Amino acid sequence: MKLANQAIGALMMALQKSLLEQSDIVPLLKEMNFQVGDGDSSQSTLIVTNPPVVSLENVGLEDVVSSIEE
């Protein structure tokens, strides 16, 4: 069994969210629900039904740059 591109993207979003928020990624990974991809007749790929949401509403460019420089 392998991860679908959607599931890989969801994992990458979880990584980005944890880096941006400087938080632990483990709780995000534990919350993810996986299922066999729709239309996958071989049932060999998994998708994430609840990918993480990354919000940049309260983050300014200065915040991102300063966190990279630290």
- SS3 track for 26-62: HHHHHHCCEEECCCCCCCCEEEECCCCCCCCCCCCHH
> What sign has the CA pseudo-torsion 14, 32, 52, 28?
negative
Question: Given this model, what pLDDT does residue 1 score?
Answer: 86
* Termini Cα distance of the chain: 39
Total tally of structural domains belonging to the chain: 1
Q: So what's the pLDDT on residue 39?
A: 77
List the pLDDT tens digit at each of the 70 positions of the chain.
899 999 999 999 999 889 888 899 999 999 999 999 887 778 889 999 999 987 777 666 666 566 666 6
* Global model pTM greater than 0.75: no
| Domain extent at residue 22 | 2-69
What is the pLDDT at residue 36?
Answer: 92
